[in-house]
Amino acid sequence: MKPSIAFFDFDGTITRKDTLFEIIRYHKGEASLYMGLLVLSPALILFKMKLVSNQAIKQLVLQYFFRNMPEDVFRERCAEFCRDRLPSLVRDSALNAIRQHLAKGHQVSVVTASGQEWVAPWCESLGIGCIGTRLEIRNAKITGRIHGVNCNGEEKVNRIRQQFDLSGYDDIYAYGDTVGDKPMLQMATYGYFRRF
């Protein structure tokens, strides 16, 4: 009998809030977050009007808040965020579902458009995998650019297939809450939309 595997979206599925803004708040503080959003508001409006891509707006936000931050400092703060702040954002029902899959011996991985840096430490604490958007690092500093493609939509399926040979699994479970999760849900044997 082949093993089973479960893929979970992160923001909005496991968490109650988008963690991009939460990680900014944690790193920079409330006042800096709102000042930055005010400065970036023309671009955010264009994004809402679908005139700017998801990847472009994410890079703009990341560059504004994190460009030139030393990589080691960024990673350390992200690990602190996972330990100190993230648990209060996690839905109990989603965490229970992850634990149920693990108890059944299923492999579990988070597949997220959020940065691996602020999701992977939390995943590691549960003993589950993490596939996320990778941030570009140059000269040991965050550039604010995305390395490759934002892990959303079809890219979620691409990244899953790069890491896993799905023919080696009997049942594939997937959980998501947005249109960007639909390709992953359609790939699964059992796809759950807004389950939690």
| Domain 5-193 homologous superfamily, CATH | HAD superfamily/HAD-like (3.40.50.1000)
pLDDT, residue 8, reads 98
Q: What is the pTM of this model?
A: 0.93
What pLDDT does 45 receive?
A: 95
Tell me which residue has tokens 């359609």. 186
Average pLDDT, 10 consecutive residues per value, the chain (196 residues): 95 96 95 96 94 94 97 96 96 97 97 96 97 96 95 97 95 96 97 93
pLDDT at position 1 is 81
pLDDT for the residue numbered 17: 93
Q: How far apart are CA 196 and CA 182, in angstroms?
A: 16
